[in-house]
Structure 1
Amino acid sequence: MPAEPPVDPMTDRELRADARRNREQVLATAQRLFAAQGLGIPLDEIARRAGVGPGTVHRHFPTKQALYLAVAIDQIRRLVDEGEALAATDDPAALFTLLSRMMASGAENAAVKSALTAAEFDLRDAAPDAAAGLTHQVARLLDRARQAGVVRDDVTVDEVMAIVAGAFAAIRHAGADTSPERSAHLARIILDGLRPPSRR
């Protein structure tokens, strides 16, 4: 009687789920470490902090730039989801909530800031779907805010995105990079410029 083949302890689906969990753990760890320590941290240290082997990190992200880009795209997609949720509300000023969150994310995370300012890479080239999704959500909320009269009527979505990118330079110039309170204060001042004169 032929011997039975060995039983694989994990199905392909379980393996895929395990790999997905590892990838998400590496992304979350890298996001925290890039935000706290910048790009200087080695991939092997990210692996150690994530509780996975170096090979796991290198398998998903062959270079630090690849991991940096993945962190940025992941965070941008989270902002897209926030925009989607805000669009489902009836808040006419939801635009300011999303823009504040974008500025806070960029102030907290160098990868997000690079994506929004096209500093290290141009998100429109690296992840066109994520870039278009975020611009789309901002445009939707801008249209609603304009109709409600809570934003000046002569501003375009491209100008709004440029204002967000410029805000990071203002935050850095003021030395507020490491202070969430000061960076949020500067963001509010900058965003007030989008309001109609009667609402400032």
Structure 2
Amino acid sequence: MSSQPSRPGPANPAAGPGSDRELRADARRNRERVLRTAQRLFATEGLGVSLDEIARRAGVGPGTVHRHFPTKEALYLAVAIDQIRKLVAEGEALATTGDPTALFTLLSAMMASGAENVAVKSALVAAEFDLRTAAPDVAADLTRRVADLLDRAQAAGAVRPDLTVGEVMALVAGAFAAIRHAGAETSRERSAHIARLILDGLRPR
């Protein structure tokens, strides 16, 4: 007795409307939108902006923001980690160029990012969050990218030979403090000028 052939199911059931995959993709897009909006508002309007206002500006419901980021500190941390991931990606792209001065490009980007997010970083410090502890893999990835570009720059004679990656990372952190001390967080021109002054110290004598 032959069996009745079963009817074929949908070719890709996971991709249908309302599927888990679609919902997950939608949730990721909403999270990205919230992160971008929060980063911009924190930089332009300060940390006093509420989660509900961030939701309104991002075009999502308040519940979406609170679901992804139950506290303001959680959102601060996510914004900071997101910026580091972007810098890691930039470092990876620069590593493929073969440019011996690419280190300066990455460090300039790091200092610009730090200047834009100095309020967020200060809030994390105040809340006793350490990015190296909270996101050790991401922080280590960025340090490795800087180390690789530093090695290449030193081999080409574009950077002084006595410089270590630890000293470079310390100088970047010092740049954030210098920019804040000068009150230059909201001025890209002034913060970039301070960054250039610091980066000039890395060049061979």
Question: Given the alignment, which residue of 160, 171, 175 partners 1:152?
Answer: 160
Letter in 1 for 2:19: T
Structure 1 gaps, min length 5: 1-7
Structure 1 partner of 2:21: 13
Q: Secondary structure at the match of 2:43?
A: helix
Query: 8 Å contact 1:107–1:113 — kept in the other structure?
Result: no
Alpha-carbon distance between aligned partners in 2 of 1:86 and 1:161, rounded to the nearest angstrom: 18
Q: Secondary structure at the match of 2:60?
A: coil
Structure 2 partner of 1:195: 203
**How far is the alpha carbon of 1:174 from its aligned partner?**
2.1
Change (3 A) 1:170 1:148: same
Query: 8 Å contact 1:145–1:151 — kept in the other structure?
Result: yes
**How far is the alpha carbon of 1:175 from its aligned partner?**
2.4
Alpha-carbon distance between aligned partners in 2 of 1:172 and 1:14, rounded to the nearest angstrom: 43
Query: 8 Å contact 1:72–1:111 — kept in the other structure?
Result: no
Provide, for residues 107-130 of structure 1, a one-character-per-residue CA deviation record: whole Å limited to 9, x for no partner. Answer: 112366459x96652111010111
Question: Given the alignment, which residue of 116, 122, 132 partners 1:108?
Answer: 116
Normalising by structure 1, we get a TM-score of 0.89
Letter in 2 for 1:105: S
**How far is the alpha carbon of 1:25 from its aligned partner?**
0.8
Is residue 100 of structure 2 the alignment partner of residue 72 of structure 1? no
Is residue 106 of structure 2 the alignment partner of residue 98 of structure 1? yes
Letter in 1 for 2:203: R
Structure 2 gaps, min length 5: 1-15
Structure 1 partner of 2:188: 180
**How far is the alpha carbon of 1:182 from its aligned partner?**
1.1
Letter in 1 for 2:72: K
How many correspondences in the alignment?
189
Q: After TM superposition, what 4+ stretches of structure 1 lie above 6 angstroms from structure 2?
A: none
Query: 8 Å contact 1:103–1:168 — kept in the other structure?
Result: yes
Q: Secondary structure at the match of 1:177?
A: coil
